[in-house]
Structure 1
Amino acid sequence: MSTTVTVYTAEQVAQLLGCAVKTVEQMARDGELAGVKPGGGWVFPAGALAQRLDQLALEQAAGRRKTPAPVATTVHQVDKPRRGPKPRALPKLVPMGGQA
């Protein structure tokens, strides 16, 4: 029973990520991408690459996440005495027609 493992070359990974081949190779040397160099060039197992990309996406999303906005609170304003002239008192009303 043979097992087939899908692998990508550094060139294919660079194309998938939209970066230079040298960047992919440097990421492999730094341990940021799981890859092996059995002969002359790097190869990257598809499963390990997908797992690492998922992890990077989650880390970057967490870094972009903003702190939640503060909850609005109600402010009760204390009635302050009015500035300026006091309102005039209204005149008293008298019934019309001389009836009191």
Structure 2
Amino acid sequence: MFLVHKNDFDLVLTDLGMSGSQLAKKIKQIDPDMPVGLITGWTVPTTKEKMKEQGVDFILSKPFDYTKVLREVNAVLFESKRREPSPPKNKQRLVLGVSTG
């Protein structure tokens, strides 16, 4: 879905526990300029540092308030609009699956 409609997204926000780190890494391989945020209940600093190294732009720790979410999202979107785009990479296929139980 992301590959087909990547120009329709301004930002990706996902949960770390739902393979969010793998999703973030794949998205950054396809579009390094796409802002990616993770939501997590984990408080281990090494996990957060590892996610930053994989290209995650921001991490929201649970529980969070919506004011903080809006502040982080607005800051990342503002910064992404100011950056010069990265050179295009070869297109890759990204397939997402959903499990209902």
Larger radius of gyration: 1
Of structures 1 and 2, the one with the larger relative CO (CA 8 A, separation 6+) is: 2
More helix by share: 2
TM-score normalized by the length of structure 2: 0.31
TM-score normalized by the length of structure 1: 0.31
